[in-house]
Structure 1
């Protein structure tokens, strides 16, 4: 016996909805149908995918492994449907972009507008993913272009530098350190500090540098995203060192930027798959990215150089 698309569809719904009832609602079918098809699927596979715990389905390790493959297949199906929709709406093409979440808010909106000004009939599909899964997806040739902070070149890709700027200190509006034009790294001694997660590469580098200098911050909150760091600083929870792209979005929302007396470079690189069919709109999109990056760098310099 072979797997059927219907069985895969039901498995995807079960993994997403986490219950037979919700999966049946998602697929507009009955619970007995879901249960019957799941039993057939497990029979074909030769192993169990779920166990029932308090009336809910708990996926096995094998189910999670299979689900990763299914999700990649669904990405392919979504691309097919996107192409169909493009044909219906008379679009002449579509560009797929995979990015870190922060860049979907701070860099891509402006770049997309620049691109669409000259390509009004070309669609742009943006997906977000964290490293290392972002780099893995580009190695698998699943997107036309990727945006990453990583300076390493994954297999099957080429890396193109886009932007390099220094990280900045961010402070709430009424913080005493705002009296200084430039924040000395030693000013962080004893300060309430908002940190990124311990596994963040920029956090790791900063921890190593401050440890080397013997500077002890008072870490009050750890949070996984630069946007949440900025939100917490703007509310007065502490100060932080963060990438300036995200910080710019919070300038008018209770947050101030100051340059540091040391350089902690923040980089953005373009990842391009080497073996994916060439998208004829790719070069123009890269040009739009470069123009937006240049504007952002100019805006950052207005806040950092004016303070010196």
Structure 2
């Protein structure tokens, strides 16, 4: 049996209208076309749906029963059309995001909030995981989008990399706040908050101070830079941190800190990760574009950020 949506819709309209001619007017078709559609449906079903007497159509008992099934089918099809339309307009769907700790506190939630503001039908999962774990989650297709520190290339992961400049964080009323540029010489003998020894920013910072023969005190060891903002704000140390953390300070509305450029340049690379071996949903693609735009805004507006921080 091969029934079509048009056949079912025509049958329902004939029942409602009570005649072929009226149904044809409602459907915007010719009477012969409607008659042919009904006849084809009857042939497909193998029984008559109407008794035709003196130019009048009378639904058979089988037609009344079939109408109930027809209404259910058409209602389901209409709901499916609305659902698919919502998916096409990015108004429905599921988005699974894994974000590394530095961005999970404020940056990624803000980007997701703005992205979903006009999408009430979209459900989202936002999980904080370490960058290494995020790689595996994306490679195994358990998440749609990962935002992490840049990993080594893997065939199972698609990645878009961003090289971000690190800035020096200090209290707004600090004696160095009027400097436009901070160097190891400027921070000679200062207390610093730094990430663990193996982290790329720690390695670069240590090398910068050693090259200029400037001593410093590694007072606070951190897993991520975000908690260090409170230590800096309290005047306990300085911190050379990534741009995402600096942006997070603005996102949370803090005003007790300022950020200054540091030379030699310390870099921090982050990446948007997606599964390489599965198609990316339109919703996931749209979120990746939004996330990319936000990262590039931070990346390209360092000068404005430093002046307003």
**TM-score between both structures, scaled by the size of structure 1:** 0.64
Partner of 1:240: 239
Alpha-carbon distance, 1:298 to partner: 5.6
Partner of 1:33: none
2:243·2:298 contact (CA, 8 Å) conserved in 1? no
1:191-247, CA deviations, whole angstroms, 9 ceiling, x for partnerless residues?
A: 111122223232122223322332211122212221111110001101110012212
Partner of 2:114: 114
Question: In structure 2, do the counterparts of structure 1 residues 145 and 306 end up closer, same or farther at CA, with 3 Å as the change threshold?
Answer: closer
Aligned partner of 1:267 among 252, 266, 269:
269
2:191·2:217 contact (CA, 8 Å) conserved in 1? yes
1:171·1:256 contact (CA, 8 Å) conserved in 2? yes
How much is the aligned-residue C-alpha RMSD, in angstroms? 2.6
Aligned with 1:206: secondary structure? helix
Q: Within 5 A, what are the aligned runs for 1:191-270?
A: 191-250=190-249, 252-270=254-272
Q: Count residues in correspondence.
A: 218
Partner of 2:303: 301
Q: 1:291 and 2:290 equivalent?
A: no
Q: 1:167 and 2:163 equivalent?
A: no
Segments of 5+ residues of structure 1 without an aligned counterpart are: 1-85
Could you list the runs of 4 or more consecutive aligned residues of structure 1 that deviate by over 4 angstroms after TM superposition?
none
1:71-126, CA deviations, whole angstroms, 9 ceiling, x for partnerless residues?
A: xxxxxxxxxxxxxxx9xxx9831011111012123432232133214533112211
Q: For 1:165 and 1:196, locate their aligned partners in 2 and report how far apart those are by CA, in whole Å.
A: 16
Aligned with 2:186: secondary structure? helix
Q: Within 5 A, what are the aligned runs for 1:1-308?
A: 92-161=92-161, 163-250=162-249, 252-297=254-299, 300-304=302-306
Question: In structure 2, do the counterparts of structure 1 residues 249 and 236 end up closer, same or farther at CA, with 3 Å as the change threshold?
Answer: same
Alpha-carbon distance, 1:306 to partner: 7.2
2:243·2:299 contact (CA, 8 Å) conserved in 1? no
2:165·2:268 contact (CA, 8 Å) conserved in 1? yes
Segments of 5+ residues of structure 2 without an aligned counterpart are: 1-82
Question: In structure 2, do the counterparts of structure 1 residues 266 and 284 end up closer, same or farther at CA, with 3 Å as the change threshold?
Answer: same
Alpha-carbon distance, 1:257 to partner: 0.7
Aligned with 1:281: secondary structure? helix
